[in-house]
Amino acid sequence: MRSFYNQATPTLTPIAPFSYVPSNEHAAWFAIAYTIACINGDISEEARKTFCKLITSKSFFSGHQTLDYFFELKKISDLLPPKEIIRAAARLINPENAPTLFCIIVEILLTKGYLTRKEENLLDYLSLRLALDDNLTDKITEVLLIKNKGNWIS
């Protein structure tokens, strides 16, 4: 019995932290937009409609099954915080597409006519991750705030 207790104990190998890499730029768009749309809990009916309309109306998604991107995101959305999903997905966004993606996200968030502090902070983080110019993001946000001012969600 003594030889059993005197054996060297194996060292535990730490498990690498879970990482997320979207399957392509389309999945990255979807992951960022949906993650931010759901930032205050569940996505509202009006925001969901706006999200679906804006995403599916882009020729960028022509020939793609956006439902596949939803299921890809759902596999990891409970495992990672929103900023980690955004950080990972933003790496795949073509710089030419970044302003359009940012505009879509602001429009989704503004379906209710205003931004919460949490949403503003997340938009700041997104613009940083997408390497967008502050003047451009301010203009996009200002125009969409004017456009959506007074929206009433029942």
Please state, as a whole number, how many other Cβ atoms lie within 10 Å of the Cβ of residue 9: 5
Task: Kindly report the CATH number assigned to the domain that includes residue 60.
Answer: 1.10.3680.10
HEC sequence for the chain: CHHHHCCCCCCCCCCCCCCCCCCCHHHHHHHHHHHHHCCCCCCCHHHHHHHHHHHHCCHHHCCCCHHHHHHHHHHHCCCCCHHHHHHHHHCCCCCCCHHHHHHHHHHHHHHHCCCCHHHHHHHHHHHHHCCCCHHHHHHHHHHHHHHHCCCCCC
Segments of the chain scoring below 50 in pLDDT = 1, 4-5, 13-16, 154
Q: Residue 11 falls within a domain, yes or no? A: no
**Total number of domains in the chain:** 1
Q: Residue 10 falls within a domain, yes or no? A: no
The pLDDT assigned to 16 comes to 43
Q: Residue 107 falls within a domain, yes or no? A: yes
Q: Residue 132 falls within a domain, yes or no? A: yes
Q: Residue 35 falls within a domain, yes or no? A: yes
Q: Residue 13 falls within a domain, yes or no? A: no
Q: Residue 15 falls within a domain, yes or no? A: no
pTM above threshold 0.85: no
82 Cβ partners below 8 Å, 6+ apart? Answer: 35, 36, 39, 122
Q: Residue 85 falls within a domain, yes or no? A: yes
Q: How many CA atoms lie within 13 A of 111 on its CB side?
A: 20
pLDDT tens, residue by residue, 54-67: 888 899 999 999 89
Print the domain residue range for 127: 23-148
The pLDDT assigned to 152 comes to 62
